[in-house]
Amino acid sequence: MPAARNLDVSIYRSRLIVALMLFALSAVLATSLILKMDRGFDFTDEAFYLMLAQRPTEYEFVLGLFSYAIRPLYLLAGESVSAFNRLGAVILAGLGASLGWAVLERLRLSWREPDAILIVGVALLAPFFYYTYWLPTPSYNWLVLVAGWILALGLILLQSRPTVSAFIVALAIAIALFTRPLNVASYCAIYIAGVLCAFADYRSRLAQLGRTVLFGFGLVAALAASLPLKTIVRQINGYLTVFGGSHPNPFSMRDQLLDFFTEGWIWWVSGVLLLVCMLARLYERPAIGKYGALVAFSAIVLLGLSLLQRRFDPSNCHVFSVLGGGGFAMLSIACRRDASLKWIALLALIGLIPWAATLGSAGRVCFQVALFPGLSLMVLVMATVLVLPRSFGPTIVAFLGIYLAYRATAAGLASPYRLATSVDRQTISTEIGPRGALKLDERTREFVQTLQRDVASRGFCRDDLAIDLSGEVPGAVFAIGGRMPVFPWIFAGYPSSHRLAGEYLKMVGPERLRRAWLIMGTSVHSLKTEEWKGLGLDFASRSLVDNLAHPVDGSAVKLYAPIVERGPC
C-alpha cells in the first residue's frame, strides 16, 4: 500500500540521517583526540615507554619485549613524541575501521545501509576507550589492544576467508609475543575455541590450525632474523639476576580474579546465561531458550537504566559490565532468532578478548579492563543488528556506545594520569625529547625548562649519563636529553624497590656512576638519600645544581652534577 510504503521510506531516511550524524560524531571525536596527543608529559610511565623505544638494546635487563615492537613506530614518527602518540591512535582507528568493514562483508550489508554506517562509525571510535586514563604513548597495553583487535578480525573472517584469517591471527599472536605470556596463552585459547566452533569436521579444523601455525612460524622466523637475540637473552638473564623468576610487583592472580568476579559479576553471569541459551538451541530446548531470552531482555533494560543512576567511573567495571554484559545478553536473545549459532559463538569469543587482555597484569582487573571494552561495544552492536535488523535498535546502541566512549575519554582528558592539570590546560609549547615539542602546563614547562637550562650551563651534553634515583621522575632524564644506564626506571614504592636499587648500583658500576648526573626526590614513595648512602652511593663528590618542586605533587626534586672534567659537546 502507498501509505505503508511511504512510512517505510520515511523511517529508512530517518535512520540513514541519524546514522550519518553518528558516523560524523565518531569521526569528529576521534580526530579531536588525535589532535590533542601533543599535550601533557607523564614523568613516570610515559617516559619509561619513550626511553625504552629510544634505546631498547642498550639496557642490561628488560621488563618484557614490548620496546622492540614499538621502536619501529618511534623511528617512523621521527622520534617526535606527539607524532609517535598520533601514529598509535591512527593505527587503532584503522584497525577499528577494518573490523567494521569485515563485519559488513560477513553480514552481507551494503555500505550504504544505515546499519552498515553505524557499525563502521562505532568501530572507528571504539578502540579509543584505550585513552580512558590518557596515557597516549604506545606501550605494552597498546600492543595487547592491537593484538586483540587483530585477533577479533581473524575470528570474523574465520568462516568466509580461512586462509586470510589464519595469517591475521598469526600476526596477532606474533604481536602478543612482545607483551605478557598469559596474553599469548589466552589469545591462542580463544582462537582454538573459535576454530572448533567455526568448522564442523576435524579435517577442516586441523587444516585451519595448520595454516595458522605455518604462518606463525614464518612470522616468528622473520622476527628472529630482525631482532638482536643475543642482546635479548642477555637482558633476560639480567632480569633473572635482579628479580629472579618473580614479577617486580608481586600479585595474586587468584585474588585479582575473585575481586573481578565480585565487582564485575554482571559480565560473567551474562556469559553463563549466553552459554545456557546456546546449549538450549543446540539441543532443541525452546522453553529454556525462551526464558533465557526474557532474562536477557530484562538484563539489557536494567543495564541501560543503570547508566542514569551511577556516577561515571571507568575503573569500577561498570562500563565494561554494561557493554560486555549487554553484548552477551543480546547474543542470548539472538539465539532465539535465525542467526547462525556458529556466528553467535564467534562473537561470544570476541567478547572474551577484553578480559583476556588483562591477564598477567599486576593491576586490578577492573582498572585494566577499562582500556579494552571497545571490542565489547562491537559485540553489542553486532548482536543488536542480528536481533533488530533495519530498525532503530542498532541506532540506540550505537549512540550509547559513542556516548560511553566520549565519557571515558572525557574522564581521561579531565583527570589525566599523573599530570599536573587537565589536558585542556596543557597549552604551552615546550621542547622535549630529541625532536619536536609537547604542549605542557605552566608548572611542568617551568620544571622542564629549568632542568634543561641548568644542566646546559654546567656542561651537560645530549646523551650524557643521568640517573633518576627517586623512582618518581625518570622522565626528567628524557626531558634533558640524557641516557639512563642499566634500566630506565628504578621503580619506587614496591616491595622489590630496595633490591632493585642495590642491583642497579652493582650493574651501573663505579666508572659510569662517577660520570652520571643524579636526580633525587622527596615524595612519600621515593627512595631516600639515607637508603642510597646505605647502599654505598657517595653524594659528597657531587654538587647540588637544582632544588625544584615536582610539578604534580610539589615535593622537592634535587639535581646533582658530577665533579669531573667535561670537554665541549
CB 110 within 8 A of CB 128: no
Residue 569: all three cell numbers together: 659537546
Q: Lowest mean pLDDT of 16-25, 27-36, 62-71, 487-496, name the range.
A: 487-496
Distance from the Cα of residue 251 to its chain's centroid: 20
DSSP secondary structure letters along 116-163: HHHHHHHHHHGGGGGGGG---S--HHHHHHHHHHHHHHHHHTTTT-HH
Neighbours of 452 (CB within 10 A): 18
Average pLDDT over residues 270-289: 92
What are the pLDDT digits (tens) for 50-69? Answer: 999 999 999 999 888 999 99
Question: Can you read off the three cell numbers belonging to residue 540?
Answer: 659528597
**Using an 8 Å Cβ cutoff, are 98 and 153 in contact?**
yes
Q: Does residue 321 have a pLDDT over 90?
A: yes
Cell numbers given for 560: 646533582
Indicate whether 557 pLDDT > 70.
yes
Percent of the chain with pLDDT over 70: 98
Instruction: Tell me the average pLDDT across 341-361.
Output: 96
Report the candidate in 510, 516, 478, 474 with the shortest Cα–Cα distance to residue 491: 474
Predicted confidence (pLDDT) at residue 348 exceeds the cutoff of 60:
yes
Question: What is the number of residues in the chain?
Answer: 569
| pLDDT of amino acid 41 | 96
Which residues lie closer than 8 Å to 258 by C-beta, 6 or more apart? none
What pLDDT, on the 0 to 100 scale, is given for residue 6?
A: 61
Per-residue pLDDT tens digits for 413-465 = 999 999 999 999 999 999 998 888 999 999 999 999 999 999 988 889 999 99
Integer-rounded Cα Rg, in Å, for the chain is 26
> Does residue 130 have a pLDDT over 70?
yes
437: which strand partners?
Answer: 431
Distance of alpha carbon 489 from alpha carbon 471, whole angstroms = 6
Number of H-type helices and E-type strands within the chain: 23, 6
Q: Looking at residue 173, what is its pLDDT?
A: 97
Q: Which phi-psi region, left, alpha or beta, contains residue 509 (left: φ > 0; alpha: ψ -120 to 50)?
A: left
Q: How distant is the alpha carbon of residue 473 from its chain centre? A: 22
Distance, in Å, from the CA atom of 327 to the CA atom of 80, rounded to the nearest integer, reads 39
| Integer Cα distance of 170 and 102 in angstroms | 18
Does the pLDDT at position 195 exceed 70? yes
Any idea of the CA torsion for 9, 11, 17, 19, to the nearest 10 degrees? -120
**Residue whose grid cell is 598469559:** 182
User: Which comes out higher in pLDDT, residue 328 or 312?
Assistant: 328
In whole angstroms, what is the distance from residue 45 CA to residue 34 CA?
20
- Report whether pLDDT(399) > 90: yes
Mean pLDDT for 367-375 is: 96
* Confidence at residue 405, expressed as pLDDT on a 0 to 100 scale: 96
- Is a pLDDT exceeding 70 seen at residue 529? yes
Distance CA 454, CA 448 (A): 10
**264: Cβ contacts below 8 Å, ≥ 6 apart:** 317, 320, 321, 365, 366, 369
- 129/324 Cα distance (integer angstroms): 14
End-to-end alpha carbon distance in the chain:
85
Mapped onto helix, strand or coil, the DSSP state of residue 562 is strand
How many Cα neighbours within 13 Å face the side chain of 358? Answer: 22
Q: Alpha-carbon distance 346 to 199, whole Å? A: 11
Please state, in angstroms and rounded to a whole number, the distance separating the CA atoms of residues 32 and 124.
13
Predicted confidence (pLDDT) per residue in 17-27, tens digit: 999 999 999 99
Q: What is the per-residue pLDDT across 82-94, written as a single tens digit (0 to 9) for each?
A: 999 999 999 999 9
pLDDT above 60 for 4: no
What average pLDDT does the structure give for the chain? 92
For residue 248, what pLDDT band results from cuts at 50, 70 and 90?
confident
Q: What integer pLDDT is reported at residue 310 of this predicted model?
A: 65
Please state, for a pLDDT cut of 90, what percent of the chain lies above it: 72
Among the listed residues 347, 334, 322, the one whose alpha carbon sits nearest the alpha carbon of residue 293: 334
- pLDDT range class, residue 3, cuts 50, 70, 90: low
39 pLDDT exceeds 80? yes
The arithmetic mean of pLDDT across residues 329-338, rounded, is 91
- CB contact at 8 A, 115 and 396: no
What's the rounded Cα separation, in Å, for the pair 48 and 94? Answer: 26
Question: Which residues in 74-89 are b (16+ Cβ under 10 Å) and which e?
Answer: beebebbbbbbbbbbb
The model's pTM is 0.95
In 3D space, the residue among 386, 369, 392, 389 whose CA is nearest the CA of residue 319 turns out to be 369
Nearest 5°: phi and psi at 241? -65, -40
